[in-house]
């Protein structure tokens, strides 16, 4: 803390006096194309002292900060931007998924079986097979899988493999037995046990029903959890991600983050949003939002309104177009709704930030109603309420986002994925308000971008491609799926940096490259502001810096 104050004082004095005799910087970047933020002029150089930027400008001006011990990097004309801040990830789960069986790109059930059989050979009997991220929309017929499909190749290993959206899983018969799930097991509030024509569980469990199996899966050890997080840190650095906002991790993850921070091995800045049912843990401490230091902060809470569109559990005003009678599910904590109301009231009374998963139009509208009640009860303040995903918004609610100051925390890659199959589920009219980036911006709503990793790849350049082109992954919308919702590259980068910083109350410290702010930045091999937008996802990260420390260097091609 003392060092940070000294650096900020140095910045202030240097900027005010423009003195020639500057203290030597630790790092100087020159000969670059530095995009500092949407409304700031580009520069070619910047100087860093400790963790923070002390000067920006042209090469000649910044040269005054070079001393005998200064590391000088010639950027060679490459584009540099603020580090990406992913506003919505599941970080430990993402790290775990990197080592798990990979099913998302499987294009048939036969391929699912083959990959599971290969995974079993690597594992001990009794060891759980998890993650997977399967997507039935990529298989012929797009039917949900069943336990019978996988039982023969997994007789001695319980299986609980996730659908890629995280709102359904497939369990084999062994896993169902361990969880004591059979034809007599009732659906829990906010969940669904999918059954066959005879009433027997098929193995697919949706939303709160997943918890029946989760309850019998052994928790990873501290060593396993740390390995997952270290894997995630390395992956993030390779993609230019310098900050993440971790949605709903368990306390054991927070303990590992704290260990890594003490050891100076936390190479990504982390803001933790704990599950809403832990509100008392933080409320009693009186810490408020964004408590901690630049590396690790707490003070946010993650709630749920509903499920997902692909699992047909998003909560809608009208039925799913292809499933009459089904308008989705409210999350288990919304039964009764008074429970969520009490959580929100307690959180806001102690200045904790509320981040609520809401995907369906009725789910979103219900949360906006609850947020409005909080404002009416407690009065105006800088709350920065968030709705995570904000996918299918009712026309009447765009203005309410702005009026209530609600941040739309969104994931562009979902748009080009869901765009393959969403319209048959909800029809053209509702689909036109799906991932409505432009409409939200036009209504003055703050956007924050992320990925929901491991639901979607962590790659920010793929997300940028998605927001700018809206070309669906199946190639069927070359001009963009609802192209009127496209953003420019500069708008997208700003949303992914400054927008995400605002969403975690950190806009004074990061999100733009300015004197006094943290030196978190990324260098590319090609300029995202100049290339053909259709090639954005092909851009390669050359280097990533966090607090002026290089945490990733690209290997030679």
Whether the per-residue pLDDT at 17 is higher than 60: the answer is: no
Sequence ranges of the domains in the chain: 2-77, 97-214, 222-509
Q: What is the pLDDT of residues 385-403, one digit of tens each?
A: 999 999 999 999 999 999 9
Walk across the sheet containing 33-34 and list its strands. 33-34, 79-82, 521-524, 541-546, 549-553
What is the widest separation between alpha-carbon atoms in the chain? 83
Among all chains, which residue has been given the structure tokens 């050891």?
Answer: 263
Q: Is the bond preceding residue 454 a cis peptide, omega within 30 degrees?
A: yes
Q: What percent of the chain has pLDDT over 90?
A: 94
Total-model pTM: 0.92
Q: What percent of the chain has pLDDT over 70?
A: 96
The Cα 531–Cα 537 span in angstroms is 11
| 484 CB burial (10 A radius; 0-12, 13-18, 19+) | exposed
Structure tokens at 482: 């609802």
* Cβ partners under 8 Å of residue 465, min gap 6: 416, 471, 533, 534, 536, 537
Of 426, 531, 534, the C-alpha closest to 477 is: 534
Average pLDDT, the chain: 95
pLDDT score, position 557? 57
Q: Could you tell me the end-to-end alpha-carbon distance of the chain, in angstroms, rounded to an integer?
A: 40
Q: What is the pLDDT of residues 468-488, one digit of tens each?
A: 999 999 999 999 999 999 999
pLDDT score, position 555? 87
Whether the per-residue pLDDT at 8 is higher than 60: the answer is: no
Burial 405-437 (b: 16+ CB within 10 A, else e): bbbbbbbbbbbbbbbbbbbebbeeebbebbbbb
Whether the per-residue pLDDT at 556 is higher than 80: the answer is: no
The Cα 118–Cα 430 span in angstroms is 41
* The domains spanning 2-77 and 222-509 adopt the same CATH topology: no
Whether the per-residue pLDDT at 122 is higher than 60: the answer is: yes
DSSP per-residue string spanning 276-295: GGGHHHHHTTT--TTEE-SS
Alpha helices in 292-436 (DSSP H): 337-349, 361-378, 398-404, 412-418, 422-431
Structure tokens at 449: 């971008």
Of 352, 347, 354, the C-alpha closest to 388 is: 354
CATH code for residues 97-214: 3.10.310.70
- In order of 18, 52, 226, 355, 446, the CA distances from 502 in angstroms are 30, 18, 29, 13, 8
**Domain spanning 222-509, CATH class:** alpha beta
Q: How confident is the model at residue 21 (pLDDT cuts 50, 70, 90)?
A: low
Q: Give the CB-side neighbour count of residue 268, counting CA atoms within 13 A.
A: 30
Phi, psi (deg, nearest 5) at residue 179 = -90, 0
Task: Could you please state the CATH topology (level 3) that the domain comprising 2-77 is classified under.
Answer: Urease, subunit C; domain 1 (2.30.40)
DSSP state of 393: -
- Virtual CA dihedral for 434, 438, 442, 445, nearest 10 degrees? 70
Whether the per-residue pLDDT at 286 is higher than 70: the answer is: yes
Q: What is the mean pLDDT of residues 307-329?
A: 96
Please give the helix or strand (H or E) that residue 49 lies within, else none. strand 45-49
Phi, psi (deg, nearest 5) at residue 369 = -60, -45
């Amino acid at each position: 803390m003392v060092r940070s104050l000294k650096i900020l004082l140095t910045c202030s004095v240097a900027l005010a006096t423009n003195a020639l005799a500057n203290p030597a910087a630790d790092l100087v970047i020159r000969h670059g194309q530095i995009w500092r933020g949407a409304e700031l002029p580009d520069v070619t150089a910047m100087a860093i002292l400790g963790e923070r930027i002390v000067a920006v400008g042209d090469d000649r001006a910044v040269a005054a900060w070079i001393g005998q011990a200064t590391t000088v990097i010639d950027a060679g004309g490459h584009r540099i931007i603020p580090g990406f801040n992913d506003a919505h990830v599941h970080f430990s789960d993402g790290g775990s998924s990197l080592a798990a069986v990979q099913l998302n790109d499987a294009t048939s059930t036969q391929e699912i079986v083959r990959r599971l059989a290969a995974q079993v050979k690597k594992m001990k009997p009794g060891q759980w097979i998890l993650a997977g991220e399967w997507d039935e929309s990529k298989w012929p017929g797009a039917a949900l899988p069943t336990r019978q499909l996988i039982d023969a190749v997994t007789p001695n290993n319980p299986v609980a493999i996730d659908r890629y959206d995280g709102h359904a899983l497939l369990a084999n018969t062994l896993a169902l037995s361990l969880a004591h799930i059979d034809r007599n097991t009732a659906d829990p509030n906010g969940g669904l046990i999918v059954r066959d024509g005879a009433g027997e569980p098929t193995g697919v469990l949706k939303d709160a029903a997943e918890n029946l199996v989760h309850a019998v899966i052994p928790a990873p050890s501290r060593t396993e959890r740390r390995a997952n997080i270290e894997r995630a840190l390395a992956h993030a650095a390779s993609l230019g991600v310098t900050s993440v906002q971790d949605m709903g991790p368990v306390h054991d993850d927070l303990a590992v983050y704290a260990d890594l921070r003490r050891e100076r091995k936390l190479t990504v800045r982390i803001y933790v949003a704990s599950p809403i049912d832990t509100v008392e843990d933080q409320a009693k401490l009186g810490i408020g939002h964004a408590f901690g230091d630049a590396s690790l902060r707490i003070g946010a809470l993650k709630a749920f309104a509903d499920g997902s569109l692909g699992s047909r559990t998003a909560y809608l005003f009208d039925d799913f177009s292809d499933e009459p009678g089904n308008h989705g599910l409210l999350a288990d904590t919304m039964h009764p709704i008074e429970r969520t109301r009490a959580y929100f009231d307690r959180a806001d009374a102690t200045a904790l930030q509320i981040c609520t998963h809401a995907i369906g139009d009725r789910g979103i509208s219900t949360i906006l109603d609850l947020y409005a009640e909080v404002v009416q009860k407690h009065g105006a303040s800088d709350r920065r309420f968030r709705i995570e995903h904000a996918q299918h918004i009712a026309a009447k609610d765009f203005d309410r986002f702005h009026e209530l100051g609600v941040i739309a925390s969104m994931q562009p890659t979902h748009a080009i994925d869901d765009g393959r199959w969403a319209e048959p589920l909800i029809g053209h009219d509702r689909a036109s308000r799906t991932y409505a980036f432009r409409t939200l911006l036009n209504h003055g709503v703050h956007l924050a971008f992320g990925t929901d990793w491991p639901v979607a790849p962590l790659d920010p350049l793929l997300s940028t491609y998605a927001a700018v082109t809206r070309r669906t992954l199946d190639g069927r919308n070359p001009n963009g799926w609802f192209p009127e919702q496209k953003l420019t590259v500069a708008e997208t980068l700003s949303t992914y940096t400054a927008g995400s910083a605002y969403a975690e109350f950190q806009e004074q410290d990061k999100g733009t490259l300015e004197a006094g702010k943290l030196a978190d930045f990324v260098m590319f091999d090609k300029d995202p502001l100049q290339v053909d937008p259709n090639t954005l996802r092909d851009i390669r990260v050359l280097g990533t810096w966090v607090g002026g420390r290089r945490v990733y260097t690209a290997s030679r091609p």
